Amino acid sequence: MESGLVDLSKLTLNEKSQLNHYRREKRDLGSHYIFTEGSDGILRVEEKTGDALKMADEISDWNKYITDKVKYKPDWTAFNQAISELKKNGATQD
């Protein structure tokens, strides 16, 4: 494995969950839109403006730059199989 990369197989279920949370958060910060769900269950979309839009542009540009430089593709099939096996053996998400 290259230096600086994280071996996902060595992360705990909680760490993997937290990593996915941070990835979703980064994706949302880089989006030009704000998605909110009302108490009525309806998803509302609002376009970002001002500093929030500038930050979304910067994050989006940075993500594109990184994506062009790093070729990483997770093996979700193996990951999901490992999770299923852990759950079958009584593992919990702590």
Is residue 40 in a domain?
A: yes
How many structural domains is the chain composed of? Answer: 1
Neighbours of 29 (CB within 10 A): 15
For the cut 80, the answer to whether the pLDDT of residue 5 exceeds it is no
Range of the domain at 72: 12-88
Domain membership flag for residue 93 = no
Residue 45 lies in a domain: yes
User: Is 4 domain-assigned?
Assistant: no
The pLDDT tens digits of the residues spanning 38-75 come to 889 899 999 999 999 999 999 999 888 887 887 777 78
Flag whether 27 is in a domain. Answer: yes
| Mean pLDDT rounded to a whole number for the chain | 84
In degrees, rounded to 5, the angle at the alpha carbon of residue 17 between the alpha carbons of residues 4 and 8 is: 35
In this predicted structure, the answer to whether residue 4 has a pLDDT above a threshold of 60 is: no
Rounded-to-integer distance, Cα 8 and Cα 72, Å:
12
- Tell whether 7 is covered by a domain: no
Query: Is residue 39 assigned to a domain?
Result: yes
Q: Specify if 6 maps to a domain.
A: no
Distance between CA atoms of residues 31 and 38, nearest Å? 19
